[in-house]
Amino acid sequence: MKAFVFPGQGAQFSGMGKDLYESKPLAKELFEKANEILGFRITDIMFEGTDEELRQTKVTQPAVFLHSVISALCMGEDFKPEMVGGHSLGEFSALVASGCLNFEDGLKLVYKRAMAMQKACEAAPSTMAAIIALPDETIEQICKEVSSEGNIVVAANYNCPGQVVISGNIDAVNTACEKLKEAGAKRALPLKVGGAFHSPLMMMAQDELAAAIETTEFHTPKCPVYQNVDAKGHTNPEEIKSNLLKQLTSPVRWTNEVQNMIADGATDFTECGPGKVLQGTIAKINRDVTAHGIE
């Protein structure tokens, strides 16, 4: 079975999508529609912008979403997913690609999410760090020991065996990194992000996104959408909406999600969007399946 997967924030690069815009009439049409919806020419920043410009929250999330969705839609007859999934932001791309959301609504929700997350980041100094080569249980236990009221750290992204990202208040994350290295982590790498994504510190953003999700029409997708919150495939629009909202404050269970897709029959994974990050994680999760970008 063919699975299509979509990357999250961090995969962006200057020049992304320019080849699609110049070679595919559908891509040009959708990119121009996005410029109109957003009220600024995001294509100028995507095609010619600096890394710093691309890192602006209001740019990063819609840019990765646009590149991912338009890449998939421009495959034409070759885009026939039997299941889809996305990492964090990529879940919105998966929902549009599967027909659960239309293009315009998907973009509006992503932009709303980006701005709400930016506000939450500014409200509390917070950050994330990648922990390499330590069991999940050890990471969870140390985060629990370090956390106190008003100074929390949690496991946020289970990316693949041996790689978990933690998220929380800056002091708590720094303390946890030291303790995790003492416990045997090969590396504890601070990430260049402005906030504690997929942690309780995003509750403010979750509240803001709730109203937007509630007033958006979700359709039954043409194939199961595997979601980060529970790692399971869903086709019920109400369940999908609920899980999408919980995702902001819950961990991304990517390892389990890929394992469940494989258990349900996936043998071939195609990553749609910038970079090759998800292909790398899938190879570490299960070497018996194939993972590649768009041919």
Choose among 238, 239, 222, 221: nearest CA to 230. Answer: 239
* Separation in Å, CA 78 to CA 75, 81, 225, 289: 5, 9, 19, 19
Please give the positions annotated as active site.
88, 198
CA–CA separation, 165 and 127 (whole Å): 10
**Cα 272 from Cα 284, distance rounded (Å):** 19
- Whether the predicted pLDDT of 194 surpasses 80: no
Q: What is the domain partition of the chain in residue ranges?
A: 2-121+201-293, 125-194
Q: Are 208 and 215 in contact (CB under 8 A)?
A: no
According to the model, what pLDDT value does residue 130 have? Answer: 97
Higher confidence at residue 193 or residue 163?
A: 163
CATH number of 125-194: 3.30.70.250
Q: pLDDT digit string (tens) for 130-151?
A: 999 999 999 999 999 999 999 9
Residue 288 sits at φ, ψ, to 5 deg, of -90, -5
pLDDT for residue 10 is more than 90: no
In this model, does residue 248 exceed pLDDT 90? Answer: yes
Which one-letter amino acid corresponds to residue 113? Answer: R
Q: What angle do CA 181, 124, 57 make, to 5 degrees?
A: 90
Distances (CA, A) of 8 to 65, 199, 216: 8, 16, 22
**pLDDT one-digit tens code per residue, 211-246:** 999 999 999 999 999 999 999 999 999 999 999 999
3-class state of residue 10 by DSSP: coil
Highest mean pLDDT among 50-54, 73-77, 162-166: 162-166
Query: pLDDT confidence of 23, banded at 50, 70, 90?
Result: very high
Beta-bridge mates of residue 268:
2, 290
Q: Is the pLDDT of residue 82 over 90?
A: yes
Which pTM does this prediction carry?
Answer: 0.96
SS3 1: coil
Q: DSSP alpha helices (H): ranges in the chain? A: 18-23, 25-38, 42-48, 51-54, 57-73, 90-97, 103-123, 136-146, 170-182, 203-214, 237-246, 254-263, 277-285
| Beta pairing partners, 132 | 163, 187
Residue 186 tokens read as 């090969």
- Give me the architecture of the 2-121+201-293 domain, per CATH: 3-Layer(aba) Sandwich (3.40)
pLDDT of residue 58: 83
Distance CA 275, CA 131 (A): 21
